[in-house]
Amino acid sequence: MFLSDIIIHNVHSLIIIYGVHIMKIKIVKDFKLTPVQILAIGFAIVIVTGAILLNLPVASQTGERTPFIDCFFVSTSATCVTGLITVDTGTHWSYFGKTVIMCLIEIGGLGFMSFATLIALVLGKRITLKERLVMQEALNSFSLQGLVKMAKYVLMFTFSVQIAGAALLATQFIPQFGLAKGLYYSIFHSVSAFCNAGFDLFGNFQSLTAYANNTVVILTISALIIIGGLGFYVWQEIYNFKGLKKLSLHSKLALSVTAILIVVGAILMFVFEYNNPATIENMSFKGKILSSIFASVSPRTAGFNSVSTSDMTTAGRFLTIILMFIGGSSGSTAGGIKVTTAGLLFMTVLSIVKGREDTEIFKKRIPKDTIYKSLAITVIGLGLVILVTMVLSITEKGASLEYLLYEATSAFGTVGLTLGLTTKLTAIGKLVIAFTMYAGRVGPLTLALALSRKKTSNTIKYPEDKVLVG
């Protein structure tokens, strides 16, 4: 473990150097990187660094180099907190490799800027305005005020929750695996669950199927997924709770939509899989309830599974695709279009049906530009999933449309669930899915803005005209 500690320190140091200094990079004279471009490049650097470390012979159980494309794929999956893997995490990687993966999950889940900020503060460095702008983009904050304090809160909150989760998991894993291995497994899975990554160390791609009836494991992992998926802004408001009226509209919407998706999703999963002998039919009533709840929580966007995903009913798999596409909350470790985006679009449709001019939620009016942004995120996300599915239909011969759509949505939502297609992907398929995971973690709109030219103000207003729709 001493070697692992050294690697953790080196990886963190490397990321901090990139995080602090990447803002000073200039592509050409008088052209500076925007905050969204810094985030996109920062994640790419972390991915490449992780792939190089995983490619070292010491990273594998056999002591041989793993094919670089698999290292790149796994590094992308870990940094983008997805969980899709081409080689089995539990049996292929050594403890060095597993520790590198855990570090990538932590850095990818919290964002490299959070770690860069922490080290800068420890070293007594001043956080510049440029760095605060990048932090604002990374944390999805409304303003620049209190960002440094927010970054410190994010790290303290994260480590506190992960320690608590590891302690609960240790009560189950230490008796089974022994002190050292059980403690390592507890920490790894706590980090993986909180960051909504979905990586597990149990081997043979079985995830949590062996713990389907274990209340402590299933509920602890579920709680970590939900906490990590709600977002730090929401939990900061919950921590300073002074009544429902004091909660921001964002927190109210995030909590409401999350609760609805979990409850409705669990009920539907219970109904869809109740008579399915390959999933929950032969389980005890407690096991059926636990598996139904977990099948509703995990797709947004953790990637653990307590029942075989490939053996689920068609209705169950389709519901999973919907949950994967929606994802978690903004400013969290989760992916997808986000629950607030889905909530805003649903309320917009409802307002139009009611004949109202504005989108209204909890007696508050939503600005038009927020609605446009939500629509753009959804359309870009849907377009990306469709495009990736079409490309995979060409590269992955013999795979059904359902399997391809499931894989594409899982990658975009940074979920990590699969019907068994990931390990069979061609080299081109791996690269396509890796890019999709990257786009899903950075954010479809953020990536589009990062690739676009500098935004210019448009002072020209063209005449208004009408178009028939619907």
**Tell me: the pLDDT tens digits for 106-139?**
888 776 555 555 555 555 556 555 555 555 555 5
User: 186 by DSSP, 3-state: which?
Assistant: helix
Indicate the pLDDT class of residue 25, thresholds 50, 70 and 90. Answer: very low
Average the pLDDT over 254-268 and give the result. 93
* 40 vs 196: CA distance, rounded Å: 20
Q: What is the mean pLDDT of the chain?
A: 82
Question: pTM (2 decimals)?
Answer: 0.82
Start-end of H helices in 178-313: 179-194, 215-230, 232-239, 249-273, 285-297
8 Å CB contact between 198 and 294:
no
**Tell me: the pLDDT tens digits for 384-438?**
999 999 999 999 988 999 999 999 999 999 898 999 899 899 999 999 999 999 8
8 Å CB contact between 317 and 419:
yes
Indicate the pLDDT class of residue 295, thresholds 50, 70 and 90. Answer: very high
Spatial CA neighbour of 187 closest among 218, 162, 216: 162
**Tell me: the pLDDT tens digits for 160-218?**
999 999 999 999 999 999 999 999 999 999 999 998 888 999 988 888 989 989 999 99
pLDDT at res. 300: 81
